[in-house]
Structure 1
Amino acid sequence: MNVAYQPPSRTRFYRDKRNGKVMGICAGIADYTGFDISLVRITMIAAVFLSSGSILPVYFIAGWLVPEQPRELEGTDVQEREFWQSVRRSPARTARDIRLRLKDIDRRLADVESYVTTENRSLAREIEQLR
Protein backbone atom coordinates (compact mmCIF):
# COMPACT_ATOMS: atom_id res chain seq x y z
CA MET A 1 0.00 0.00 0.00
CA ASN A 2 1.48 3.33 -1.07
CA VAL A 3 0.53 6.18 1.27
CA ALA A 4 1.31 9.73 0.15
CA TYR A 5 3.32 11.84 2.59
CA GLN A 6 1.22 14.46 4.36
CA PRO A 7 3.19 17.38 5.80
CA PRO A 8 2.32 18.18 9.43
CA SER A 9 -0.47 20.69 9.81
CA ARG A 10 -0.30 23.36 12.48
CA THR A 11 -4.09 23.52 12.61
CA ARG A 12 -4.67 19.83 13.29
CA PHE A 13 -5.23 18.21 16.69
CA TYR A 14 -2.33 15.99 17.81
CA ARG A 15 -1.46 14.03 20.94
CA ASP A 16 1.37 15.74 22.80
CA LYS A 17 3.20 12.81 24.37
CA ARG A 18 6.21 14.97 25.32
CA ASN A 19 4.12 17.07 27.72
CA GLY A 20 1.48 14.44 28.43
CA LYS A 21 1.05 12.12 31.39
CA VAL A 22 -1.01 9.15 30.18
CA MET A 23 -1.42 9.29 26.40
CA GLY A 24 -0.92 12.99 25.70
CA ILE A 25 -4.59 13.73 24.98
CA CYS A 26 -4.97 16.44 27.66
CA ALA A 27 -1.64 18.01 26.62
CA GLY A 28 -2.80 17.92 23.00
CA ILE A 29 -6.09 19.60 23.93
CA ALA A 30 -4.20 22.25 25.89
CA ASP A 31 -1.85 22.90 22.97
CA TYR A 32 -4.70 22.97 20.45
CA THR A 33 -6.97 25.32 22.43
CA GLY A 34 -4.42 27.42 24.29
CA PHE A 35 -5.84 26.53 27.71
CA ASP A 36 -3.53 25.82 30.61
CA ILE A 37 -2.67 22.12 30.73
CA SER A 38 -3.52 21.92 34.45
CA LEU A 39 -7.01 23.26 33.75
CA VAL A 40 -7.54 20.65 31.02
CA ARG A 41 -6.36 17.86 33.33
CA ILE A 42 -8.61 19.02 36.19
CA THR A 43 -11.54 19.21 33.77
CA MET A 44 -10.77 15.68 32.56
CA ILE A 45 -10.67 14.33 36.13
CA ALA A 46 -13.96 16.09 36.89
CA ALA A 47 -15.47 14.62 33.72
CA VAL A 48 -14.36 11.13 34.78
CA PHE A 49 -16.04 11.50 38.16
CA LEU A 50 -19.17 13.17 36.81
CA SER A 51 -19.62 10.54 34.12
CA SER A 52 -18.89 7.66 36.50
CA GLY A 53 -15.94 6.69 34.36
CA SER A 54 -17.88 6.34 31.12
CA ILE A 55 -15.65 8.95 29.45
CA LEU A 56 -12.54 6.80 29.91
CA PRO A 57 -13.19 4.62 26.83
CA VAL A 58 -13.55 7.80 24.75
CA TYR A 59 -10.21 9.01 26.14
CA PHE A 60 -8.43 5.76 25.26
CA ILE A 61 -10.03 5.54 21.83
CA ALA A 62 -8.88 9.11 21.15
CA GLY A 63 -5.42 8.16 22.38
CA TRP A 64 -5.40 5.29 19.93
CA LEU A 65 -6.82 7.20 16.93
CA VAL A 66 -5.30 10.68 17.25
CA PRO A 67 -1.84 10.92 15.67
CA GLU A 68 1.18 11.91 17.73
CA GLN A 69 2.51 15.45 17.33
CA PRO A 70 5.23 15.45 14.64
CA ARG A 71 8.75 16.41 15.69
CA GLU A 72 8.69 19.38 13.29
CA LEU A 73 6.00 21.03 15.44
CA GLU A 74 7.55 20.35 18.86
CA GLY A 75 10.16 23.12 18.88
CA THR A 76 7.89 26.09 18.25
CA ASP A 77 8.31 29.15 20.43
CA VAL A 78 5.54 30.66 22.54
CA GLN A 79 4.67 33.46 20.10
CA GLU A 80 4.34 31.08 17.16
CA ARG A 81 2.25 28.62 19.20
CA GLU A 82 -0.11 31.45 20.28
CA PHE A 83 -0.44 32.57 16.65
CA TRP A 84 -1.48 29.09 15.47
CA GLN A 85 -3.91 28.75 18.39
CA SER A 86 -5.56 31.99 17.28
CA VAL A 87 -5.71 30.66 13.71
CA ARG A 88 -7.49 27.53 14.96
CA ARG A 89 -9.95 29.56 17.07
CA SER A 90 -10.87 32.09 14.41
CA PRO A 91 -9.15 32.00 11.02
CA ALA A 92 -11.13 34.97 9.70
CA ARG A 93 -10.23 37.18 12.66
CA THR A 94 -6.58 36.18 12.42
CA ALA A 95 -6.51 37.02 8.71
CA ARG A 96 -8.14 40.39 9.48
CA ASP A 97 -5.56 41.11 12.20
CA ILE A 98 -2.70 40.26 9.84
CA ARG A 99 -4.22 42.47 7.15
CA LEU A 100 -4.48 45.36 9.64
CA ARG A 101 -0.87 44.90 10.77
CA LEU A 102 0.33 44.89 7.16
CA LYS A 103 -1.67 48.05 6.41
CA ASP A 104 -0.10 49.72 9.47
CA ILE A 105 3.39 48.68 8.32
CA ASP A 106 2.62 49.95 4.81
CA ARG A 107 1.43 53.30 6.21
CA ARG A 108 4.54 53.68 8.36
CA LEU A 109 6.76 52.79 5.40
CA ALA A 110 4.99 55.41 3.28
CA ASP A 111 5.62 57.99 6.03
CA VAL A 112 9.32 57.14 6.06
CA GLU A 113 9.46 57.24 2.26
CA SER A 114 7.76 60.63 2.10
CA TYR A 115 10.09 61.97 4.82
CA VAL A 116 13.17 60.82 2.91
CA THR A 117 12.07 61.83 -0.60
CA THR A 118 10.60 65.28 0.08
CA GLU A 119 12.63 68.44 0.18
CA ASN A 120 13.80 68.31 3.74
CA ARG A 121 16.53 70.77 4.58
CA SER A 122 17.14 69.44 8.09
CA LEU A 123 17.59 65.90 6.78
CA ALA A 124 19.94 67.12 4.05
CA ARG A 125 21.93 69.02 6.70
CA GLU A 126 22.16 65.89 8.89
CA ILE A 127 23.38 63.84 5.91
CA GLU A 128 25.99 66.46 5.08
CA GLN A 129 27.22 66.40 8.69
CA LEU A 130 27.70 62.64 8.46
CA ARG A 131 29.96 62.98 5.42
Structure 2
Amino acid sequence: MSYQPPSRTRFYRDKRNGKFMGICAGIADYAGFDVTLVRITMIAAIFLSSGSILPVYFIAGMVAPDRPRELDATNADEKEFWQSVRRSPARTARDIRLRLKDIDRRLGDVESYVTTENRTLAREIEQLR
Protein backbone atom coordinates (compact mmCIF):
# COMPACT_ATOMS: atom_id res chain seq x y z
CA MET A 1 0.00 0.00 0.00
CA SER A 2 1.44 3.38 -0.98
CA TYR A 3 1.30 6.54 1.12
CA GLN A 4 -1.43 8.96 0.06
CA PRO A 5 -0.65 12.57 1.10
CA PRO A 6 -3.52 14.50 2.73
CA SER A 7 -5.74 16.38 0.33
CA ARG A 8 -6.21 20.10 0.84
CA THR A 9 -9.55 20.00 -0.96
CA ARG A 10 -11.17 17.41 1.31
CA PHE A 11 -13.40 18.01 4.35
CA TYR A 12 -11.76 17.18 7.68
CA ARG A 13 -12.88 17.50 11.29
CA ASP A 14 -10.79 20.19 12.95
CA LYS A 15 -10.64 18.93 16.53
CA ARG A 16 -7.78 21.27 17.49
CA ASN A 17 -9.90 24.36 16.76
CA GLY A 18 -13.27 22.79 17.49
CA LYS A 19 -15.40 22.80 20.61
CA PHE A 20 -17.28 19.51 20.19
CA MET A 21 -16.15 16.92 17.62
CA GLY A 22 -14.66 19.67 15.38
CA ILE A 23 -17.41 19.60 12.74
CA CYS A 24 -18.18 23.35 12.81
CA ALA A 25 -14.46 24.21 12.77
CA GLY A 26 -13.99 21.81 9.84
CA ILE A 27 -16.87 23.39 7.93
CA ALA A 28 -15.47 26.86 8.62
CA ASP A 29 -12.02 25.85 7.39
CA TYR A 30 -13.39 24.06 4.33
CA ALA A 31 -15.74 26.85 3.27
CA GLY A 32 -13.62 29.80 4.37
CA PHE A 33 -16.16 31.16 6.85
CA ASP A 34 -15.61 32.42 10.37
CA VAL A 35 -16.02 29.54 12.82
CA THR A 36 -18.25 31.65 15.09
CA LEU A 37 -20.66 32.23 12.20
CA VAL A 38 -20.77 28.49 11.48
CA ARG A 39 -21.45 27.71 15.16
CA ILE A 40 -24.27 30.26 15.35
CA THR A 41 -25.75 28.84 12.14
CA MET A 42 -25.53 25.32 13.57
CA ILE A 43 -27.32 26.35 16.76
CA ALA A 44 -30.02 28.07 14.69
CA ALA A 45 -30.36 24.96 12.52
CA ILE A 46 -30.77 22.79 15.63
CA PHE A 47 -33.57 25.00 16.93
CA LEU A 48 -35.26 25.42 13.54
CA SER A 49 -35.19 21.68 12.84
CA SER A 50 -36.31 20.76 16.38
CA GLY A 51 -33.07 18.84 16.85
CA SER A 52 -33.46 16.62 13.80
CA ILE A 53 -30.12 17.84 12.44
CA LEU A 54 -28.24 16.44 15.46
CA PRO A 55 -28.00 12.87 14.05
CA VAL A 56 -26.43 14.31 10.88
CA TYR A 57 -23.91 16.18 13.04
CA PHE A 58 -22.98 13.04 15.00
CA ILE A 59 -22.75 10.91 11.85
CA ALA A 60 -20.46 13.52 10.28
CA GLY A 61 -18.41 13.47 13.49
CA MET A 62 -17.97 9.71 13.26
CA VAL A 63 -17.40 9.47 9.50
CA ALA A 64 -15.21 12.52 8.73
CA PRO A 65 -11.48 12.00 9.21
CA ASP A 66 -9.40 14.18 11.53
CA ARG A 67 -7.47 17.02 9.97
CA PRO A 68 -3.85 15.89 9.37
CA ARG A 69 -1.14 17.86 11.13
CA GLU A 70 0.67 18.42 7.81
CA LEU A 71 -2.08 20.84 6.80
CA ASP A 72 -1.67 23.05 9.90
CA ALA A 73 1.59 24.72 8.85
CA THR A 74 0.06 27.05 6.26
CA ASN A 75 0.18 30.82 6.14
CA ALA A 76 -2.90 32.98 5.57
CA ASP A 77 -2.30 33.39 1.80
CA GLU A 78 -1.96 29.66 1.28
CA LYS A 79 -5.06 28.98 3.37
CA GLU A 80 -7.05 31.51 1.33
CA PHE A 81 -5.78 29.97 -1.90
CA TRP A 82 -6.92 26.45 -0.98
CA GLN A 83 -10.31 27.76 0.16
CA SER A 84 -10.73 29.44 -3.24
CA VAL A 85 -9.79 26.13 -4.91
CA ARG A 86 -12.56 24.38 -2.96
CA ARG A 87 -15.11 27.12 -3.76
CA SER A 88 -14.40 27.37 -7.49
CA PRO A 89 -11.69 25.16 -8.99
CA ALA A 90 -12.30 26.43 -12.54
CA ARG A 91 -11.98 30.08 -11.52
CA THR A 92 -8.84 29.36 -9.52
CA ALA A 93 -7.29 27.55 -12.50
CA ARG A 94 -8.16 30.53 -14.73
CA ASP A 95 -6.57 32.94 -12.22
CA ILE A 96 -3.40 30.83 -12.07
CA ARG A 97 -3.28 30.69 -15.87
CA LEU A 98 -3.58 34.50 -16.05
CA ARG A 99 -0.82 34.94 -13.46
CA LEU A 100 1.47 32.60 -15.36
CA LYS A 101 0.78 34.46 -18.62
CA ASP A 102 1.64 37.74 -16.90
CA ILE A 103 4.87 36.27 -15.49
CA ASP A 104 5.74 34.90 -18.94
CA ARG A 105 5.11 38.30 -20.53
CA ARG A 106 7.27 40.04 -17.92
CA LEU A 107 10.06 37.49 -18.41
CA GLY A 108 9.84 38.10 -22.16
CA ASP A 109 10.23 41.84 -21.54
CA VAL A 110 13.30 41.25 -19.35
CA GLU A 111 14.78 38.86 -21.91
CA SER A 112 14.14 41.35 -24.70
CA TYR A 113 15.80 44.15 -22.72
CA VAL A 114 18.84 42.03 -21.85
CA THR A 115 19.38 40.53 -25.31
CA THR A 116 18.65 43.64 -27.37
CA GLU A 117 21.72 45.57 -28.31
CA ASN A 118 21.84 48.91 -26.55
CA ARG A 119 23.54 51.08 -29.19
CA THR A 120 23.93 54.13 -26.94
CA LEU A 121 25.66 52.10 -24.24
CA ALA A 122 27.86 50.32 -26.80
CA ARG A 123 28.89 53.68 -28.30
CA GLU A 124 29.82 55.06 -24.85
CA ILE A 125 31.86 51.96 -24.05
CA GLU A 126 33.70 52.28 -27.40
CA GLN A 127 34.45 55.94 -26.67
CA LEU A 128 35.99 54.98 -23.33
CA ARG A 129 38.45 52.57 -24.99
Alignment match, 1:29? 27
Aligned pairs, number:
126
Residue 62 of structure 2, aligned match among 61, 64, 89: 64
Could you say which residue in structure 2 is the equivalent of 1:73? 71
Q: Distance in 1 between matches of 2:45 and 2:60?
A: 15
> TM-score, normalized by length of structure 2?
0.89
Match of 1:94 in 2: 92
Question: Deviation string for 1:16-46 (max 9, x for gaps)?
Answer: 0111000100000000000111111110010
TM-score of the superposed pair, with normalisation by structure 1: 0.87
Cα pair distance change 1:45/1:125, threshold 3 Å:
farther
Q: Which stretches in structure 2 are left out of the alignment for 5+ residues? A: none
Match of 2:102 among 94, 101, 104: 104
The amino acid across from 2:36 in the alignment is S
RMSD: 2.1
Q: What residue number does 2:38 align with?
A: 40
Q: Do the aligned partners of residues 72 and 118 (structure 1) sit closer, same or farther apart at CA in structure 2, a change above 3 Å counting?
A: same
Change (3 A) 1:112 1:4: closer
What displacement does 1:99 show?
0.6
Tell me whether 1:17 sits opposite 2:15 in the alignment.
yes
